[in-house]
Every structure is written in structure tokens, then in C-alpha cells.
Structure 1
Amino acid sequence: MTNLKTIILQAPFVIVEGIATRLYMPERNTLDLDILILSEDALLVYQDLERAKSRRIGNLSIPGSQWQLSDGTSLDVIESTTSWATEAIANPNYAPDGLPIIALPYLVLMKLTASRSQDLADISRMMGGTEESQLQEVRRIVQVYLPSAAEDLESLITLGKLERETDEIG
């Protein structure tokens, strides 16, 4: 995976999706790097990527674009205008290499919104090993921004805990 730190992005961002899940659960393979930015910062980010010899591949099906970095890594830049994205970008966790990673409550919210099968599996696995205080923060963020998914979240938490118990016994 590329060292994103070698590309100077002047706008704030957080790493999301598969790479971000590594901070909260056992690693899973992923073929690309995804970052979340505010839509208002898109032009600045795209100029920075071009300066770093990255090549724009095309648009995503959601607001954003796909890039190929100079080392061949695929980068998806996801743009958002939501208030939760503003909060998520302003309050990241940090990976051991210092890169900003989306905080768990916002990652769960993002994955619940997408609701792809891999996203739901990721939520379940992440929730299974999460401490109660952090689960409360996840519940709070989901209740604020996506209250219709609160019941689904509880089911995924239960499934994650059951899977973790089975792994520990087996």
C-alpha cells in the first residue's frame, strides 16, 4: 500500500473503508485506499493529487473520484457535504504511521449508510470486540444521524459478540 504521507494534501481528510477497519478489527484484504473529504475541498485535493503525479481514472457512483497514485495504488476520494463528515474529518483517530483514520462511530455510520454486505460484515466484526463505552458512542452517533438503523446496529453488535465468543471458544 502506498505511503499516503508522501503526498501533501492541504485539505483535511480521513482514511475510510477497508484500510480504516484495520484499526478496529483483524485485518482484511483490500485492493484500494479510500479517503473522505469535504466536497468544498475537492478542487484543492485534486490539485494536490495531480501535483503528486497521480492520474484521475474517473468518477465514483457516489460523489467523488478514483485516482491511480504514482506507485500504482488505487485511491478513491469520497466527497461529502454532510455534517457528520465534517465532524468525522475534524475528529480522527490516528494509525501508528500518523495518518488520520475515521473514528469508529463515523465509520460504522458510513458503512450502515452504504449497507453493502461487506460493510455489514465489517460492522459486525468491529462491534464484537468493542468496549461498552465505545459502543455507547457508536449508538449515539447512529441515533443522531441515522436513527432508522438503530435496530440493525443492535443486531450487528449481537452477531459480532456471538462470533467473537465462538472464536474464543473454538
Structure 2
Amino acid sequence: MDTRTLIRKTLIQMALQRARPGTGSRWELIRRRPSMPSLPNLAAILGPIPWAVVGALAARHYMPERATQDLDIAVLEKDASEVRGRLQQAGFRYVGAAWVSPEGVSVDVLELNAPWAEPALQAAQGNRDAAGFPILPLPYLILMKFEAGRMQDLADIARMLGMAASDQVDAVREVFRRYRPEDLEDLESLLTLGRLEWMGPEGASSPSIDERVDPDDQELA
């Protein structure tokens, strides 16, 4: 067992031992989402190149939001050179490890070469928010975070799974069967943690994410 897998399994086991029903955020607070920052029009800049929003701004599509002012996107590794050229032509500057738009928005471009990358980005083109941004579909976002394996990623996975509908969870399982069959047990453990977090005080499950968002906020979801 490699070190990353050992750490992941240890963290999951520790969390399962300590988890108690109803320890998540209060449902009424989840209904209030802060406005998204003003984002650059990447659709116009990147043109036909397949890309998708990932990171915190994608996760807000599936769970309560974590504060962020940055935009993380994923592209195929084979398209990375053209993406960099298009960003430069649009006036972006490369600062540190991210691109900064003329308006000062930080854009982190992740270059994917995993076997699931191309179907994930293709699926994202049909999974757009009201602003027209392609959002990485939940199964692939969870898979990407699982492979990253950081503590925050594992926590995000549990929260997203805990708020997902049964058909969404089944779709996640199917993606894991295809690409990470050896990790299905850990996926189920993270689902258990997520369900416990959102369970009501009497053991009742919480409403789905769509039921928690105010109608006035739908354009941000």
C-alpha cells in the first residue's frame, strides 16, 4: 500500500470513529450563498477548446460554499499550450503558479492527462451553470478530488456525497467502478461520513442541495 493510500484510509477510519449524526452546517445557513466574484469570459477566450470549472467554484454547485476568489479550470494536457497562448493574447499575466486576468482575477489552469479526463471535459460541456460556465460533473469532480487525496479534498467529497441524490451517488459509483474499482470501499466510507454530517437530530436525512438554495440564488448554482 502506497503512502497516499495509507494516509487516506487512516483519515477515513479516524473520521468514521468520531462522526456523529447532525454535525454539519445548519440548513438555514446553507441557503445563503455569497455572490460569485466577477469572472473573466473564458468561453470567448478559449473558444472550441474543451475546459471545465473545477475546485471550489465547481464544488459550490454540489455543496455549501467555501469562500474563494480564485477560479480553477481543467483542460486536457494536449491543449495546454494553446490555452496558454490564448490567455496571453487576452492580456492575462502568469504570476507564480496562476494566470491573472486584466481585472485581477486569478485563474489556475490544471492540465489533465488521466484516462477519465477527456470524457469528463466532454460531459462538462453539457453541465453548465446559468452563467454558461461548464462545470465538471459530480462523479468526475469527486474522482479528481479523490486522486488528489488532500484532507480538504476528502472532506469536500464527504460533503458532496452527503448532499447528493441517490441517482447522483449511483453515477459516482459507476465512474469509480470504471476507473478506481479498488477504492469503492473508501468511497462508501466517505458517503457514510457525508450522510452522518447532514442527518437531522432524529436521524432524518437532510434535503438535497437543490432544495436548500433560495430561488433568487439559482443563477449562481
TM-score greater than 0.5 by the shorter chain: yes
2:134 corresponds, among 97, 100, 114, to 100
1:110 corresponds, among 144, 158, 169, to 144
Q: What is the match of residue 79 of structure 1?
A: 111
1:9 aligns with 2:65: no
Cα distance in 2, alignment partners of residues 115 and 127 from structure 1: 16
Cα distance in 1, alignment partners of residues 40 and 171 from structure 2: 29
1:19 aligns with 2:51: no
Question: What TM-score do you get using the length of structure 2 for normalisation?
Answer: 0.69
Unaligned stretches of 5+ residues in structure 1: 60-65
Shift of 1:38: 0.5
CA contact (8 A) 1:112 1:149 kept: no
Larger Rg: 2
Q: What is the match of residue 154 of structure 2?
A: 120
Cα distance in 2, alignment partners of residues 40 and 47 from structure 1: 13
1:54 aligns with 2:92: yes
1:42 corresponds, among 73, 77, 80, to 80
Higher RCO (CA 8 Å, separation ≥ 6 residues): 2
Q: What is the match of residue 160 of structure 1?
A: 194
Q: Secondary structure at the match of 1:34?
A: strand
Give the length in aligned residue pairs: 164
- The structure where strand makes up a greater share of residues is 1
Shift of 1:167: 7.2
RMSD: 1.9
Q: What is the match of residue 68 of structure 1?
A: 100
Q: Summarize deviations over 1:19-72 as a string: whole Å, max 9, x none.
A: 10011111111242111100111111111111111011245xxxxxx2111111
Shift of 1:95: 1.2
Question: What TM-score do you get using the length of structure 1 for normalisation?
Answer: 0.89
2:179 corresponds, among 135, 145, 159, to 145
